[in-house]
Chains A and B, each alone.
Chain A
């Protein structure tokens, strides 16, 4: 009888702790719609254009421009 009471008490305590934890976490969510930071870049997410017979992909940390370049990267 005593061991049965102990088992029942332990079960109730576990269920109560789980329920209270779930309530606490739900009530303290920050913005659940916030995007992942930093953004994850994949080859399909970069801005991709055709250039000189190949594919040019530009990620978010590089800015294309229309100004005259001072130099270039090239094969040597």
Chain B
């Protein structure tokens, strides 16, 4: 990958995936600081640790739980994602995730069992998640997994830390701000085509990765089962990393017949792969 004059780049492994951050006109230590921020946020938002904020919130289902401002913001965005997707992007799919055996990070080994018969449709998120300043409450029996939207949300926050001409890519979910290394936008590859992004985000949703025992990790909240809508991978450019993630996931879940119209009204560019 060529390095541009004035372009600083830094790559690292975090959040169970590959991450990279880019910045024009900023010192390299700022990129390292960004890596620390990603690791810190990842540790607070993972559902795989009982000590994380999300782990504590899930464990406290049925009563109010103190949360930090970042999780409070992300939970608010979760409700917005639910509305924007017509309920298809629903972080309350944790019981279904556990039912298909996704109870630990895939880096620690493949899930050992896939008991899909236990899966149930996910509850409406606004019915099970309540937020007030400094605390949140999940209804008893409910649980959340923020893995479907956290990377895009974090990429949006990360470019604010990096500077006015920067790009953050967290496992393929990315956000760009500024004019990029050449002044005409950040060159980003999407489906093998280079697109110049300027204050725009991009994300990919796929059922080709994270598969085991004949199932995959992308839950359709209408059934509580892994999606079988007919699309295998969707990449999207949108106004932010979070929006791109929401639109990509929604398009994948609604299938090939409705996805083009949905993307046309919510995305700036999109790639649909059957």
Contacting pair A63 B205 (CB below 8 A): no
Determine, out of A12-20, A30-38, A50-58, the stretch whose residues face the partner at the interface.
A50-58
Which residues of chain A from 24 to 76 have any CB-CB distance to chain B below 8 Å in the complex?
41-43, 46, 49, 51-59, 61-76
Contacts of B263 in A (CB 8 A): 43, 57
Contacting pair B203 A41 (CB below 8 A): no
Contacting pair B206 A68 (CB below 8 A): no
Contacts of A62 in B (CB 8 A): 195-197, 200, 237, 268-269
Contacts of A71 in B (CB 8 A): 20, 22, 167, 169, 174, 188-189
B104 at the interface (CB under 8 A from A): no
Contacting pair B191 A56 (CB below 8 A): yes
Contacting pair A63 B195 (CB below 8 A): yes
Contacting pair A54 B204 (CB below 8 A): no
Contacting pair A70 B181 (CB below 8 A): yes
Contacts of B267 in A (CB 8 A): 59
Contacting pair A53 B273 (CB below 8 A): yes
> CA of A71 to CA of B194 in the docked complex: distance in angstroms?
9
Determine, out of B1-9, B42-50, B79-87, B131-139, the stretch whose residues face the partner at the interface.
B1-9
Q: For chain A, what secondary structure do more than half of its interface residues adopt (helix, strand, loop), or is it mixed?
A: loop
Count how many pairs of residues, one from A and one from B, have CB atoms less than 8 Å apart in the complex: 135
> CA of A66 to CA of B188 in the docked complex: distance in angstroms?
11
> CA of A62 to CA of B269 in the docked complex: distance in angstroms?
7
Contacting pair B185 A63 (CB below 8 A): yes
> CA of A59 to CA of B263 in the docked complex: distance in angstroms?
10
Contacting pair B191 A61 (CB below 8 A): no
The residue from A56, A58, A61, A63 contacting B184, defined by CB atoms under 8 A apart: A63
Q: Given A41-B264, A43-B260, A68-B2, answer yes or no on A73-B194 (Cβ-Cβ < 8 Å).
A: no
Contacts of A58 in B (CB 8 A): 193, 195, 269
Closest to A58 in B: B269
Interface size on A, residues (CB 8 A): 30
Q: Given A42-B264, A56-B269, answer yes or no on A76-B187 (Cβ-Cβ < 8 Å).
A: no
Contacting pair B271 A54 (CB below 8 A): yes
Contacts of B196 in A (CB 8 A): 62-65, 67
Q: Shortest beta-carbon distance, B12 to chain A, in Å? A: 13
Contacts of B2 in A (CB 8 A): 68
> CA of A66 to CA of B209 in the docked complex: distance in angstroms?
28
Contacts of B273 in A (CB 8 A): 52-54
Contacting pair A64 B274 (CB below 8 A): no
> CA of A62 to CA of B197 in the docked complex: distance in angstroms?
7
Q: Shortest beta-carbon distance, B196 to chain A, in Å? A: 4
23 contacts between A and B (CB under 8 A): A41-B264, A51-B271, A53-B273, A54-B273, A55-B272, A56-B269, A56-B270, A56-B271, A57-B264, A57-B270, A62-B195, A62-B269, A64-B196, A65-B184, A65-B187, A70-B7, A70-B22, A70-B187, A70-B188, A72-B169, A72-B172, A73-B202, A75-B205
Chain A residues at the B interface, C-beta cutoff of 8 Å: 41-43, 46, 49, 51-59, 61-76
Chain B residues at the A interface, C-beta cutoff of 8 Å: 1-2, 4, 7, 9, 16-18, 20, 22, 167, 169, 171-174, 180-182, 184-197, 200, 202-206, 208-209, 233, 235, 237, 244, 260-261, 263-264, 267-274
